[in-house]
A = this chain, B = another copy of it.
C-alpha cells in the first residue's frame, strides 16, 4: 500500500543520511538511498521506509522490496539481508516523524473562504446544500446530494447518487455509488493507537484511507476510522446503524448488517452477510466468518466460523450461552420458576 497523494501532499524525498540526521538513529547502510514514502513492514515496497517495534519475539513479515527499515535493537535480527536499517529505541515514533516530513495531510492545510473549492469537481447534476464545504481535489458525482454544513475534505471522491447527510465529515475516503451517510457520520479520522515517544504517549500516525463500496449505508453519528497505512473497507450493500464505531484496518464484506452501538476493534475481518446485533463488541484482529449471527450485547474475543450464532460476554455459541443463563437462574432462585 502506498500513501495516496490525493489525501497526503508529498513533500519530496529524503535520503537515509538525512533521516539519520533528523531522527538521531544509527544508520547501517547506504546514506544516499532515497525514501519517498512510508508503509507497514509487511507491505513495504521500493522507496518505502517501514518500521519494526516491540520485543522482537514471534514472527515478523518484511516486504522484499522495502527500501529501508527503522528498528530497535530487539528487531534488528528481522531485517532482511541487504536492507538498510536505522536503529533507535523508538522506531515507531521516528517512523511517524519521517512520515510527516514526507507528507502533509491535506485536510490539515486546507484554509480559505471558498465554500466549494475551485479545484473541486462537482457534477452539475449534484446538489450541494447550504453551508456544505467541498475541498480542493474532491469530486462529487451526478445525482449526489451533499447535506447542509457537511464537509467533503480535500481529495475525497464521492460517486453518483449518494446521500451525504447534514454535518457529515469525510476525509481520506473513496466513496462508491448510491452510498448513504446519515447526518453526523465521521469517515476517515485517524484511528486510536498509542505509541511511545520521548516525552510519553503519542498518537500513532495514520496514512491510510477508508473505502466505502456501492450501496453502503452508515447511520447517524457513526465513525469509521482510516487505516494506519492500508485501508479500512466496507463492502457493497453493508448497512450500519447509528452510533457505531469501526476502527482502523477493519474489513467488512458485502451485505453485513450491524445494529446501533456496534464496536469493531482494529484489523477485524467480518464476512459477507454477517448480522451483528445491537451493542456488540469485537476485539481486535478477530475474524468473523460469512453469515455469522451475533446476538445483541455479545462481546467477541475469538474467531467465529462461518454460519454460527454466538452470544454473551465473552461470546460463545448461543445455545451454550442460553444454557448458562437458564442454569444460573434456576440454581440461584430455587423457589422461582420465572
Tell me whether A242 and B257 are in contact in the complex, defined as CB-CB below 8 angstroms, given that A108-B145, A113-B130, A324-B329 are known contacts.
no
Query: Interface stretch among A7-15, A36-44, A58-66, A166-174?
Result: A166-174
Closest to A256 in B: B201
* Beta-carbon contact of B316 and A338 below 8 Å: yes
Stretch at the interface among A24-32, A83-91, A182-190: A182-190
Question: What residues on B are CB-neighbors of A255 within 8 Å?
Answer: 200-201
A260→B260 CA distance, assembly (Å): 14
Query: Which residues of the other chain, B, contact A148 by a CB distance below 8 angstroms?
Result: 107, 110, 133, 135, 151, 153, 169
When A130-B111, A281-B296 are in contact, do A223 and B201 touch as well, CB less than 8 Å? Answer: no
**A314 on interface, CB distance cutoff 8 Å:** yes
Contact, CB under 8 Å: A260 / B263: yes
User: Given known contacts A133-B130, A242-B245, is B299 in contact with A299 (CB within 8 Å)?
Assistant: no
The reply to whether B221 and A186 contact each other, CB–CB distance below 8 Å, is yes
Q: CA–CA, A219 to B336, complex, Å?
A: 40
The verdict on A158 contacting chain B, using a C-beta distance below 8 Å, is no
Q: B186, B201, B317: which contacts A220 (Cβ < 8 A)?
A: B186
Chain B residues, CB < 8 A from A186: 182-184, 220-221, 242
Residues of B within 8 A of A283 (CB): 296
Whether B219 lies near A242 (C-beta < 8 A) is no
Whether A320 contacts B333 by the Cβ 8 Å rule is yes
Q: For the complex, what is the distance from the CA of A108 to the CA of B203, rounded to whole Å?
A: 34
Question: A149 contacts which of B167, B237, B279, B329 (Cβ < 8 Å)?
Answer: B167
Q: Enumerate chain B residues within 8 angstroms of A180, measured Cβ to Cβ.
A: 203
> Using an 8 Å CB-CB cutoff, how does the interface string of A179-222 with B read, 1 for contact, 0 for none?
01011101001101010000111110000000000010101110
Residues of chain B with a CB closer than 8 A to A338's CB: 316-317, 320
Q: Binary interface profile of A, 248-277, with partner B (CB < 8 Å = 1, else 0)?
A: 000000110101110101000000000000
A77 to chain B, nearest CB (A): 30
B333 in contact with A329 (CB, 8 Å): no
Q: Establish whether residues A130 and B110, one from each chain, have CB atoms under 8 Å apart when the complex forms.
A: yes
Q: Which 3 A-B pairs have the closest CB atoms?
A: A166-B169, A327-B332, A186-B220
User: Would you mind naming 19 contact pairs between A and B with Cβ atoms under 8 Å apart?
Assistant: A107-B148, A113-B130, A130-B133, A149-B150, A151-B183, A167-B184, A183-B186, A186-B221, A189-B219, A194-B257, A200-B236, A203-B239, A219-B223, A221-B221, A243-B243, A247-B260, A278-B281, A324-B333, A327-B332
